[in-house]
């Protein structure tokens, strides 16, 4: 293909437009604009998928208790089982394993990172993903597969929320109390509660007044819509007028299905998502057979991380939107003359590449959407990593369906909900059903999201230990909280384009540490204050993050555009040398076997 000349871009005009669009969306109330699912709104959090079964409270002891039955709990549980720890108890507020894949059964739910690297333990379970980007039912089944294969159902407690965890210094165990009246002890605890599991509603006046039907996307009501996650045709919506509020990554995936199913669909937009090409396709079993040689998934994980985060030019096996972002920037950086490889020049090159990419995505909207006015409103005016990048080949196309109307609120959001419908830009849209694609609590205090505040040695609460920002070693251990492990990306690799990679490496590490503690006959393992401090000092040398900068349009990536406290850096930081280097470092650290920085007692 002949090289097409790079489009001429008026950078100053784009910067002005980005700033204007940001300005429209800034609100003094920041995160407080959202509503918690409490009181009259509590029913929005009810589990529509699994009946609640009464059971007697549990009062026993297990070696390991893990809070959260999503990927974090599954991979850690699997590694603990491999390490010979038989009594692993997973405590999960949903009715089964799966975490985000348990709750998010909306039509079209699909992983946004390639299945080959997104779905954990593929090699261990022998599962071949059916598509480059697998759909929700397959991912949920995979969670059940992992839990079954590794015997994690035996001690699991579902529909159960932890209310209190405290360290018992005399007995060297954690005492755990739950919403089901359980009170049991565990030698070790792990937490994988994820940042995106508490649904939130937009704080729109009148939200309680609506007389029609309504639900949040993470509690999809198939009894109302018809269909099911595997066949989301939703025949009951054929004569319905439906409003969906929100146009983030969730809406991008479910709007195409709604557009096909609904009599009338109104999509209420405050800020457009950037929607790039998806290019999903089935996985060919012959190709997979060639790939799936021992150690394949680790090699794929490494390859993606190298391509996504590093300056190396490893052959890109995954080739998706995430690695493309990096490839573009890297190619431009490599073209800089040797004497100009400064941070400033690299950042300028990155900015240019971003302008080009976003222009390309905006042109895609023009090409795909037939009505030019609608196409214009679907264009995103911000840098690509200001908001979660989306990839889809049917979302923009959905606005060509005669049933579907984009109701753009020009950055202001929906004004009011009435008994009959939704008001935006001064007009009332009467509807039978409102679907809230309004996302999850992310930027709020973690205790509000977790619902408990772990009490460590001497009763010190984790919220106190982290009051000036998160403090850990490797993102996994916190001083004063012996035998407790955190399974999440921050202060570790911080790799957000493939979150499960962070979780699998943490799970592996924890499996090794617990096995080591058992073999040494140690009752306690804890990071020393010095090792934790040294890690924090190292993290503080990391460059500022590229995601959700202060100039970005508001959203959960940048605290809804509000200034952040000094603790912010620690709450979002990763290993200064990047994700690939972190995973290498962590592997060497655990393989050395002395677990430097930890004390076994
Ligand atoms: P988001 O928080 O991304 O989106 C919420 C939407 O609601 C935004 O479009 C927001 O607008 C809109 N909104 C909020 N208040 C109002 C209002 N008053 N009036 C009108 N609109 C309003 O939630 P999602 O559930 O879409 O996604 C959350 C995250 O979950 C993603 O960022 C991603 O990390 C993850 N996810 C991952 C998927 C995957 O990997 N396959 C799929 C789906 C989600 P505004 O942008 O202006 O704030």
- Would you state the structure tokens that stand for residue 574, as one six-digit string? 């990763």
Whose C-alpha lies nearest to ligand 1, atom 3?
Answer: 248
Whose C-alpha lies nearest to ligand 1, atom 48?
Answer: 555
Residues 117/501, Cβ–Cβ less than 8 Å: yes
Model confidence, pTM: 0.96
Whose C-alpha lies nearest to ligand 1, atom 32?
Answer: 388
pLDDT of residue 341: 84
Residue 438: CB within 6 Å of ligand 1?
yes
Q: Which of 111, 113, 256, 270 should be mutated for ligand 1, with most atoms under 8 A from CB?
A: 270
pLDDT of residue 239: 98
Q: Which of 100, 256, 439 should be mutated for ligand 1, with most atoms under 8 A from CB?
A: 439
Residue 437: CB within 6 Å of ligand 1?
yes
Residue 202: CB within 6 Å of ligand 1?
yes
Residue 3 has pLDDT above 70, yes or no: no
Whose C-alpha lies nearest to ligand 1, atom 12?
Answer: 246
Assign 4 a pLDDT band (cuts: 50, 70, 90).
Answer: low
> Ligand 1 centre from 10 Cα, in Å?
30
Residue 250: CB within 6 Å of ligand 1?
yes
Q: How far apart are CA 225 and CA 525, in angstroms?
A: 51
Q: How far apart are CA 217 and CA 437, in angstroms?
A: 5
> How many other C-beta atoms are found inside a 10 Å radius of the C-beta of residue 464?
13
Alpha helices by DSSP H, 274-394: 285-291, 296-309, 321-334, 343-368, 372-377
> How many other C-beta atoms are found inside a 10 Å radius of the C-beta of residue 264?
18
Whose C-alpha lies nearest to ligand 1, atom 31?
Answer: 249
The residue ranges of DSSP E strands in 345-451, in sequence order, are: 390-391, 404-408, 416-417, 421-424, 427-430, 433-436
Q: Which of 26, 133, 258, 438 should be mutated for ligand 1, with most atoms under 8 A from CB?
A: 438
Alpha helices by DSSP H, 119-269: 122-125, 136-149, 222-225, 249-261
- Mean pLDDT, the chain, integer: 94
Q: What is the pLDDT of residues 414-435, one digit of tens each?
A: 999 999 999 999 999 999 999 9
Mean pLDDT for 524-549 is 92
Assign 547 a pLDDT band (cuts: 50, 70, 90).
Answer: confident
Residue 245: CB within 6 Å of ligand 1?
yes
Whose C-alpha lies nearest to ligand 1, atom 24?
Answer: 439
> Ligand 1 centre from 438 Cα, in Å?
5
Q: What is the pLDDT of residues 285-308, one digit of tens each?
A: 999 999 999 999 999 999 999 998
Residue 112: CB within 6 Å of ligand 1?
yes
Q: What is the DSSP letter of 26?
A: -
Nearest atom within ligand 1 for CA of residue 251: 26
Q: What is the pLDDT of residues 471-493, one digit of tens each?
A: 999 999 999 999 999 999 999 99
Residue 442: CB within 6 Å of ligand 1?
no
Residue 72 has pLDDT above 50, yes or no: yes
Q: Which of 197, 220, 248 should be mutated for ligand 1, with most atoms under 8 A from CB?
A: 248
Residues 438/243, Cβ–Cβ less than 8 Å: no
pLDDT of residue 311: 62
Q: Give residue for tokens 């299905």.
A: 257
Whose C-alpha lies nearest to ligand 1, atom 43?
Answer: 250
Q: Which of 108, 217, 244, 249 should be mutated for ligand 1, with most atoms under 8 A from CB?
A: 249
Q: What percent of the chain has pLDDT over 90?
A: 81
Nearest atom within ligand 1 for CA of residue 217: 25
Assign 2 a pLDDT band (cuts: 50, 70, 90).
Answer: very low
Q: How far apart are CA 364 and CA 305, in angstroms?
A: 27
Whose C-alpha lies nearest to ligand 1, atom 33?
Answer: 249
Q: How far apart are CA 570 and CA 552, in angstroms?
A: 20
Q: What is the pLDDT of residues 188-220, one digit of tens each?
A: 999 998 878 899 999 999 999 999 999 999 999
Residue 65: phi and psi, rounded to 5, are -115, 135
Whose C-alpha lies nearest to ligand 1, atom 13?
Answer: 246
Q: What percent of the chain has pLDDT over 70?
A: 98
Nearest atom within ligand 1 for CA of residue 249: 26
Residue 247: CB within 6 Å of ligand 1?
yes
> How many other C-beta atoms are found inside a 10 Å radius of the C-beta of residue 126?
10
pLDDT of residue 6: 59
Nearest atom within ligand 1 for CA of residue 204: 18
> Ligand 1 centre from 402 Cα, in Å?
25
Sequence-distant (≥ 6) Cβ neighbours of residue 528 within 8 angstroms: 479, 597, 598, 599
Contacts 24+ apart (CB under 8 A), 210-213: 210/417, 210/418, 210/419, 210/420, 210/421, 210/434, 211/419, 211/420, 212/420, 212/421, 212/431, 212/432, 212/433, 212/434, 213/432, 213/433, 213/434
Residue 157 has pLDDT above 80, yes or no: yes
pLDDT of residue 5: 57
Residue 246: CB within 6 Å of ligand 1?
yes
Nearest atom within ligand 1 for CA of residue 133: 41
Residue 414: CB within 6 Å of ligand 1?
yes
The residue ranges of DSSP E strands in 87-155, in sequence order, are: 88-91
Nearest atom within ligand 1 for CA of residue 203: 18
Mean pLDDT for 156-171 is 97
Residue 248: CB within 6 Å of ligand 1?
yes
| DSSP 3-state of 5 | coil
Nearest atom within ligand 1 for CA of residue 110: 41
Lowest mean pLDDT among 339-353, 373-387, 542-556: 542-556
> Ligand 1 centre from 293 Cα, in Å?
38
């Amino acid at each position: 293909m002949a090289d097409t000349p790079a489009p001429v871009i008026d950078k100053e005009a784009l910067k002005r437009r980005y700033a204007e669009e940001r300005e429209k969306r800034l609100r003094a109330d920041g995160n407080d604009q959202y509503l918690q699912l409490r009181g009259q709104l509590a029913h929005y959090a009810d589990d529509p998928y699994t009946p609640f079964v009464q059971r007697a409270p549990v009062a026993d002891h297990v070696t390991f208790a893990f809070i959260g039955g999503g990927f974090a709990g599954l991979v850690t549980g699997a590694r603990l089982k491999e390490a010979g720890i038989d009594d692993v108890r997973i405590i999960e507020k949903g009715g089964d394993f799966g975490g985000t894949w348990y709750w998010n059964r909306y039509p079209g739910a699909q992983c946004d990172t390639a299945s080959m690297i997104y779905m954990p333990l593929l090699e261990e379970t022998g599962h071949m993903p059916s598509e480059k980007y697998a759909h929700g039912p397959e991912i949920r089944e995979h969670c059940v597969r992992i839990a079954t294969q590794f015997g994690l159902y035996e001690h699991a407690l579902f529909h159960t929320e932890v209310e209190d965890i405290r360290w018992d210094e005399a007995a060297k165990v954690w005492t755990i109390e739950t919403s089901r009246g359980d009170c049991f002890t565990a030698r070790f605890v792990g937490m994988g509660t994820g940042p995106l599991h508490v649904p939130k509603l937009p704080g729109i006046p009148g939200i309680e007044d609506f007389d029609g039907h309504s639900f949040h996307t993470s509690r999809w009501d198939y009894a109302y819509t018809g269909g099911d996650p595997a066949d989301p045709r939703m025949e009951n919506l054929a004569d319905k007028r439906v409003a969906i509020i929100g146009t983030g990554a969730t809406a991008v995936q479910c709007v195409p299905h709604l557009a096909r199913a609904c009599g009338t669909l109104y999509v209420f937009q405050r800020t457009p998502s950037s929607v790039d090409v998806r290019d999903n396709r089935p996985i060919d079993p012959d190709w997979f057979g060639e790939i799936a040689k021992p150690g394949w998934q680790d090699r794929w994980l490494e390859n993606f991380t190298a391509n996504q985060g590093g300056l190396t030019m490893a052959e890109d096996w995954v080739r998706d939107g995430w690695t493309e972002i990096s490839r573009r920037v890297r190619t431009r950086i490599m073209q800089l003359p040797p004497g100009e490889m400064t941070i400033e020049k690299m950042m300028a090159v990155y900015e240019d590449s971003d302008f080009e990419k976003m222009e390309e995505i905006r042109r895609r909207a023009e090409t795909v959407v037939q009505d030019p006015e609608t196409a214009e409103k679907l264009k995103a005016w911000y840098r690509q990593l200001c908001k979660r990048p989306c990839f889809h080949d049917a979302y923009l196309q959905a606005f060509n369906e005669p049933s579907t109307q984009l109701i753009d609120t020009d950055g202001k959001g929906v004004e009011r909900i009435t008994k009959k419908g939704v008001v935006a830009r001064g007009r009332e849209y009467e509807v039978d059903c409102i679907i809230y694609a309004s996302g999850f609590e992310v930027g709020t205090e973690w205790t509000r999201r977790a619902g408990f505040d772990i009490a460590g040695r001497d009763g010190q609460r984790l919220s106190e230990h982290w009051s000036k920002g998160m403090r850990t070693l490797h993102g996994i251990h916190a001083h004063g909280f012996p035998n407790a492990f955190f399974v999440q990306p921050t202060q570790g690799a911080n790799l957000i384009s493939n979150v499960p990679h962070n979780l699998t490496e943490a799970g592996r590490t924890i499996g090794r540490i617990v096995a080591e503690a058992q073999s040494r006959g140690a009752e306690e393992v804890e990071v020393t204050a010095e090792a934790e401090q040294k890690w924090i000092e190292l993290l503080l040398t990391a460059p500022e993050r590229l995601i959700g900068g202060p100039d970005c349009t508001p959203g959960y990536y940048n605290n809804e555009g509000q200034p952040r406290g000094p603790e912010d850096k620690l709450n979002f930081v990763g290993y200064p040398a990047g994700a690939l280097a972190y995973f290498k470092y962590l592997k060497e650290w655990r393989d050395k076997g002395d677990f430097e920085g930890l004390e076994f007692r």
